[in-house]
Amino acid sequence: MEGRNVSYRACVPAEFVLFPKAEEVLSEFAGLHLGNCGPGIDCATSDVEIDPSAASHLVSDLLKFEGILNARLFPLGEVHRAHGYLVIDEYGRTYLLNDELSPFASTFDEALELLLLGKRPD
């Protein structure tokens, strides 16, 4: 979606602080639903829906994890048919959030590739 620049302010819950790395992703991908769930290279593929408003109920969870990581977090949207969330930190690292927050990829682009192709992170 390189070069795509959309208005994303409406989908940003007021409870979350938007920082530059999250803004970069939202300006290109906000409102998109990409991929499907199915067989992948190493594991199941996932769909990805970039819509931070889907995670507005996660404010307290993300605040807790921010304290542990010592980094601000922002929910980008849902993954795997809304069974989890894709989260980015202020440094651009991505995480998957189900019951716990798990490091996933060093960049959003890498996370998107892993999820859509069904590849395991290193």
**What residue ranges do the domains of the chain occupy?**
9-117
Which residues does the chain have with pLDDT short of 70? 1-10
Say if CB 52 and CB 17 are below 8 A apart: no
The pTM for the full model equals: 0.91
Please give the span between the terminal C-alpha atoms of the chain, in angstroms, as a whole number.
25
Phi-psi region of 8 (alpha: psi -120 to 50; beta: other; left: phi over 0): alpha
* pLDDT reported for residue 98: 93
**What confidence score (pLDDT) does residue 2 get?**
59
Q: How high is the pLDDT of residue 57?
A: 92
Phi, psi of 88 (to 5 degrees): -120, 145
| pLDDT at 17 (0 to 100) | 86
